[in-house]
Structures are given as C-alpha cells and as structure tokens.
Amino acid sequence: MILILMLGYTSITHGQEALCTNAKKNLSIIEPYSIEVTFDKTSHLLFPSVIRYVDLGSTNLVASKADDAGNVLRVKASVRDFEEETNFSVITEDGTFYSFNVSYNSCPRVTNYSLTKTLKSDREWNSKPILFKELGTNSPNMVDELMEEIYKQDKHFIKQIGTRKFGIEFLLKGIHINDDKFYFYTQIRNSSFVSFPIDFINFKVIDKKKAKRTVVQEVIKHPIRVYKSIDEVQGKTVSRNVFVLDQFTIADDKVLRIELHEKNGSRLQILEIKNSDLLKSKLIQQEDVRKDKERYIERDVK
C-alpha cells in the first residue's frame, strides 16, 4: 500500500512538473534592461515614443516624466545605499512594454540611456503590443502606421472644404476610415510672413442653423490620436497633420465643425463638414502600408 501511494505521489509530481514546463514554454519572456541609480545624480531614459505609464517596484526609487519632453523619464534613488535589487516598468504610446532591473551604485558609470527602436528589435522581444482602451482592438503601432501612410500619400480628394483668410489657408484634404475610426487629414498653409502660433484645434458637432437667442447644443469630439504635435506654423510654410476620432454620424440639421484657434490672436479658422462628407471617407488598411513599404524597398534596390 505504501509503495502504491509513493508511486502515485511521484506520478502526480511529475505530471505537475510537466504542466509547469509546458506552461513556461508558452510564455514569451520580456528580458529586462539593467541600469544603476544613485542618490546624488539623476538618470535619464530616452524612449522612442511618449511615456504613458510608469510603475516603480519599491519606494527606493522616484521617477517622473521630464517637463515638456513626454518621452524622457527621470529616475533616481530616494534613499542612499539600498542593497536589494528593485525594478520598474514603462508603457509608451506606441504600445511597447519595457522592464528594468535597478541596482544602487554610488558612482554609476552611465546615467543617460537611449532606448531606440533598433535596440528594441535587437533584443527580439516577442510580446504583442499593449492595447489601449480608446483604440479598441487596434494596436497603437497599426494606428500610427496608418496615420503615417496617409501623411506620406498626401492625397487631396476632398476639394470643397477649406477656408482662406488672414493669410492662412486651412484645408480638410481627406477623410479615411479603418475599423470604426475616422482619420481626418488636414493642412495649414501660411502665405504671410507672420507666424501662426496654434492654441488648439477642436472638433464639435453643432446645429447647422443657429437662431438668435437660442441655446446652441454642441457635442465635443475628442481626437484619440494625433500624428504629430504642431505648436506653430512659420511664415511661408505648410504644415500637415492627421487626427484619429471614433466613428460617428451627423444628423441632417447638424455639421461637424473643426476650429483652428490662434494663440493670443484672432485669426480663427473654421471648417464645416456634413454627414454626406463623412460617408465619402475612403478605406485605408494595413495592406496599403505594406504595399507602400515594398515600393520604397524596390526603389532603394534599383
């Protein structure tokens, strides 16, 4: 009986070990970077994309994003000479997850680190990109690639939506759609020598006809991703951009208004888009990005 029980226990143990081994085989391990920190110096980490999330492994560390530089993280020790290794993790806007093991060194050899895309690919991480709630099932990388493709193609297939005044031309050059997301492609041309500082651009659905002394109902549509940040359009220059918004429709008695506000100025630019314009949006897919990349590769080879 004792022999049977021992054999049964051994079989269960081996079975559990086999299950654990198989489970480990199915995991993609993200190898952490190793860095050193100290109390008297600040370490800076430069990421290829804006930092979205930071989690510190212990109170022995303090970290914050650098002012006016969303892709730079400052890290230092909050106490002197801590002995046990700790860690921290970072998620960036392109959906990449980074892990770091941190040890204390009173005089670290390196205090500034650059985490470029080349370095990331060299490590051959197999993890899938982080998915953000506002993008649904779309990976940030895919959305970024689609915006870049629209920007590079620079197609102007919407001709009637634009405004020109005060030396500024504001155009809606195209509307694309992919997986329940609108991609609005805009252009600002400054034909004067006076620079045009941008305060903000907003999207809102308003009534088409506004009677006097009536409350105007407005529904703000917030972009969930922007191709690039533009603070100013210098004189005699052109600036283009892509804004990603959740898919929506507009009633016949309403319009989508895009307002371009000048900072400390009065050169307000307004575009109005009807629902019929939204229905003319063109489909863009990752297949378009792949074909475009292949064309560039063939051109470079030739």
Distance CA 175, CA 278 (A): 7
Distance CA 47, CA 117 (A): 9
Which of 64-73, 171-180, 214-223 bottoms out in mean pLDDT, i.e. has the lowest? 214-223
At 205, list the tokens. Answer: 């659905």
CB contact at 8 A, 239 and 196: no
* For the chain, percent of residues with pLDDT exceeding 90: 65
Distance CA 119, CA 99 (A): 14
Query: Which of 118-152 are b and which e, b meaning 16 or more Cβ less than 10 Å from the residue's Cβ?
Result: eeeeeeebeeebbebeebeebbbbbbbbbbebbee
pLDDT digits (tens, 9 = 90+) for 180-200: 999 999 999 999 999 999 999
Q: Please report the pLDDT score of residue 203 as a whole number.
A: 97
97 alpha carbon, distance to own chain's centre: 13
Predicted TM-score of the model (pTM): 0.71
